[in-house]
Homo-oligomer: A and B are copies of this chain.
Amino acid sequence: MKRAKKKVFADFMSQKGLKSTKQRDIILDCFLSSDRHLSIEELYLKLRSKHPNIGYATVYRTLKLFAEAGIAREMQFGDGQTRYEHVSEGEHHDHLVCTRCGHIEEFENETIEKLQDEVANSRGFLIERHRLEIYGLCANCRK
C-alpha cells in the first residue's frame, strides 16, 4: 500500500513534468509512515529531527502536491490547523473526534449518506462533498 501510493505519486509527478527530489521522497516516506491525520506543523517537526535543514515551505508545498496527486486530503477540524489524511482509492469516511485526547476515528455509514442525498435533493441542491464529524469522548477517555 505504501508502495502503491509511491507509484501513484511518481506517476503524477512525471505526468505533470515535475521532478523527484530527495526532499519529496523523504517527506512522502515520513507522511506514509505517520498517523492518518497530520498537520503541516506536526509533519515538519517530525522531519526536522532527522533532516534539520528541510524547510517549512517545502513541507507545505509537498503536502499540496500529495493532495493534488490524490494520495492525501486536506481536512479542517476547527482547531485552526489544516490536517492531511491518507486517501485510499475512492473511499470516503467521516470522523469521530475525541475532544479530550484528540484521537480521531473513522467510520462509514451508507444509510446516513443516502439520507443526505435525500435532503439535498429535496432542496434542489447538488452535492459536491460533505463532512460529518462527531465530537465527544472516546472510549478510553470515558473511563
Interface residues of A (CB under 8 A from B): 76, 78, 96, 98-99, 105, 107, 109, 111-112, 115-116, 119-120, 123-139, 142
| Copies of this chain, whole number | 2
CB distance B116 to A112 under 8 Å?
yes
CB distance B134 to A130 under 8 Å?
yes
CB distance A126 to B136 under 8 Å?
yes
- Of chain B, the residue at the smallest CB distance from A130 is B134
Chain B contacts of A125 at CB under 8 A? 96, 98, 105, 134, 136-139
- Of chain B, the residue at the smallest CB distance from A99 is B128
CB distance A127 to B123 under 8 Å?
no
Rounded to whole angstroms, the CA-CA distance of A71 and B98 in the bound complex is 26
